Amino acid sequence: MPLLSVEHLTTHLFTDSGVVRAVDGVSFSLDRGEALGIVGESGCGKSMTALSLMRLVPEPPGRIVGGRVLFQLTATGGPVDLLMLSNEQMRKVRGKRLAMIFQEPMTSLNPVFTIGDQIAEAIKLHEGGSRRQVQSRVVDMLSLVGIPTPAQRANDYPHQLSGGMRQRVMIAMALSCRPEILLADEPTTALDVTIQAQILDLLRRLQAEFGMSLVLVTHDLGVVAEVAQRVIVMYAGKIVEQGTVDQIFRQPLHPYTQGLLKAIPPLAKLPPGTRFATIPGTVPDLAHLPRGCAFADRCPKVRENCRENEVPDDPCNVGRLVRCFYASNP
Amino acid sequence: MERGSLNPSSQKYSALIWRQFKKSRLAVICLVFVAILAAVAVAAPFIANDRPVLMRYNGSWSMPVLKMPVALRGVDLYELMSNPPAGTWMLMPPIKYSPGSYDLSSVLAAPSLQHPFGTDGDGRDVAAQLVWGSRVSLSVGVVAVGIAVAIGVLLGLIAGFYGGWIDIAVSRFIEVMICFPTFFLILAVLAFVGPSIYNIMIVIGVTGWTGVARLVRGECLKLRRREFVMAAAASGARDRRVMLRHILPNSMAPVLVSASFGIAGAILVEASLSFLGFGVPPSQPSWGSMLSQAQQFMDIAWWLTLIPGSAIFFTITAYNLVGEALRDAIDPNLRT
């Protein structure tokens, strides 16, 4: 029984230029303690998927229009559909069972309160306790995420901290009530490479320590390879390929995944005159998707029927989700 | 970026703002001016009064400013002052006149040692009226803006946070309110309900919230998508908490600026109303009514217009400058 199973999650943005299918029938599951990576280019629906799980899609213009998010809230009872909970019930799930950290550490903390106050708020929202108890938990959390002299740092304001420190504080805030699932939306994108590695290490360590499941949304395949066990590749609101890290990196079957992997800058110096591999074109306008496969216009293997028929989950019977009629090794 | 390492002792947010604010000397001077003005308004009876602040009469102490002692009822204080019997001692306020005490022997007296700001056409001391008039001006300013800010913040937050039809309804309401010529609306309402200081406060407050509401709505729209607001919601905070704790404090900077301009504006409106005779009753001195009464003596008694006019001018300027410095101090983007 997976901890979380998402079925046909569909989130649309109702904009002036039409209905944007930001998340278009996404299904996946997540086991307890598992780390799942969601990758794809900007604007392919990764973040919207994470926000939909939290039911924090900006509304208007967004709305979750369909699907189920089944969460094993109790050990004994059946799973509960988060989309059916009342606002108040969902509020109790957020932060306590299902937490989220955001991309931009510069703006993820409220500038007018100390970081200690902000972590304390997250604790008080769900667990309460005396001022002293909360304060000591705040200090514990700060030291857990590797902030030196946590008792003094708790009185700092966000602008007194560096980006990496703020991301640590964000993680402390999100984990303060020991959630079972942490959704991390591009947690390292805005950080220096050396700091990125530290934050990823921290996430991995805390995940193991808390026995927590992690959903890592990123466009950085390196990050996914380092942290995740399973990977979902998204394109234009749909999952195009799903597999273990090994499968995705060693045997990518979807042309889009193959393109993404080719576009990783090689460590060796390119010989002069050669160009860096890219996927031609851009993500199509999600408000006006073409018929058939959304990747067709950029795909090197495109054929006639790609533009006519909707591609099912696994048309080539490879045994996992590969949304392509011509899935094959490169 | 790693500024924390430079200041190991963390500071309170208010201390941070104060340090920023202090950088503008003019703003500090204006703040001191506003503070003195507030102190004068509160302490007006002790500053300008025709009764002693403290006196000893027939062997007992009393403070006639607050309460006339029974022993002095029917006693002519003026007589007592000019010809004190033995054992009588009294401490007079700095200005020895009430705004209502008529001294018909010195009508339209130019500024002198006895009347530092001169007297008006009825022989009333201008300095005393100025001191008591500051009560009306400041209380109207502060209370009216308090009402306006309360209404504006509430409606602006709700409109900006919930969006959709609530936002449309509030925004249209704001636009309708803006279309009214506010000053004439105030005049018309006061013509119905009668001019009293409370009515003036309420009417100015109830018509003056639109600017604040728009500012707060705009800030709220901007902040609602900011990550710390999302993060607060993601950690399970209720809408009300997100609004009041995360959005409101971060949208207060423009509100404070608007409020200080608002106080200045309200003081002007009150002065204008009093000038037109729709203001506070004549028994209560106000800067506006002083100006109004000064009109007839404009060519012979310059102090009657100059003194209350300058009081209004300097007060409004001080509030505006304080507001601007406050805005700069609160804005984290300008923090160095």
Residue in chain B closest to A53 (alpha carbons) equals: B234
The one-letter code for the residue type at B322 is: V
Mean pLDDT of A234-261: 88
* pLDDT score recorded for residue B155: 95
Residue A290 has pLDDT above 90, yes or no: no
Query: B7 at the A interface (CB within 8 A)?
Result: yes
* pLDDT score recorded for residue B170: 94
Which chain B residues have a beta carbon less than 8 Å from that of A122? 235-236
Q: In the structure, what pLDDT confidence band is assigned to residue A330 with cuts at 50, 70 and 90?
A: low
Which chain A residues have a beta carbon less than 8 Å from that of B241? 125
Q: Is the peptide bond before B195 cis (omega within 30 degrees of 0)?
A: no
**Bridge partners of residue A38, in order along the sequence:** A217, A232
* pLDDT score recorded for residue B334: 62
Q: In what order do the strands lie in the sheet with B60-62?
A: B60-62, B54-57, B89-91
Inter-chain residue contact A162 with B235, CB threshold 8 Å: no
Cβ–Cβ under 8 Å, residues A323 and A293: yes
Query: B246 at the A interface (CB within 8 A)?
Result: yes
DSSP state of A290: P
Mean pLDDT of A294-320: 80
Query: Of all helices (H) and strands (E), which one includes residue A234?
Result: strand A230-235
The average confidence (pLDDT) of chain B is: 83
Mean pLDDT of B287-312: 87
Residue B195 has pLDDT above 70, yes or no: yes
Q: Which of A125, A155, A173 comes nearest B10 by C-beta?
A: A155
Say which residue, B2 or B180, is predicted with more confidence. B180
Residue B6 has pLDDT above 70, yes or no: no
Q: In the structure, what pLDDT confidence band is assigned to residue B109 with cuts at 50, 70 and 90?
A: confident
Number of Cβ pairs < 8 A linking chain A and chain B: 102
Cβ–Cβ under 8 Å, residues A225 and A250: no
Residue B310 has pLDDT above 90, yes or no: yes
B-contacting residues of A 121-140, CB under 8 Å?
121-122, 125-126
Residue in chain A closest to B2 (alpha carbons) equals: A162
Q: What is the pLDDT of residues A20-40, one digit of tens each?
A: 888 888 999 999 889 999 998
DSSP state of B73: T
Q: How far apart are CA A99 and CA A101, in angstroms?
A: 7
Q: What is the pLDDT of residues B67-108, one digit of tens each?
A: 777 777 777 777 777 777 777 777 888 887 888 777 777 777
Residue B336 has pLDDT above 70, yes or no: no
Inter-chain residue contact B224 with A58, CB threshold 8 Å: yes
Per the structure block, which two tokens stand in for B226?
A: 């900011």
Residue A301 has pLDDT above 90, yes or no: no
Query: Of all helices (H) and strands (E), which one includes residue B113?
Result: none
Say which residue, B172 or B182, is predicted with more confidence. B172
Cβ–Cβ under 8 Å, residues A166 and A106: yes
Q: What is the pLDDT of residues A81-131, one digit of tens each?
A: 888 888 888 888 888 889 998 887 778 888 888 889 889 988 888 887 888
Cβ–Cβ under 8 Å, residues A32 and A53: no
Cβ–Cβ under 8 Å, residues B318 and B34: yes
Q: Which of B7, B238, B245 comes nearest A91 by C-beta?
A: B238
* pLDDT score recorded for residue A233: 92
Name the pTM for this structure: 0.79
Residue B248 has pLDDT above 70, yes or no: yes
The distance of A169 to chain B (nearest Cα, Å) reads: 12
The average confidence (pLDDT) of chain A is: 85
Q: How far is the CA of B106 from the CAs of A154, B83, B123, B196, in angstroms?
A: 67, 21, 6, 31
Mean pLDDT of B239-265: 86
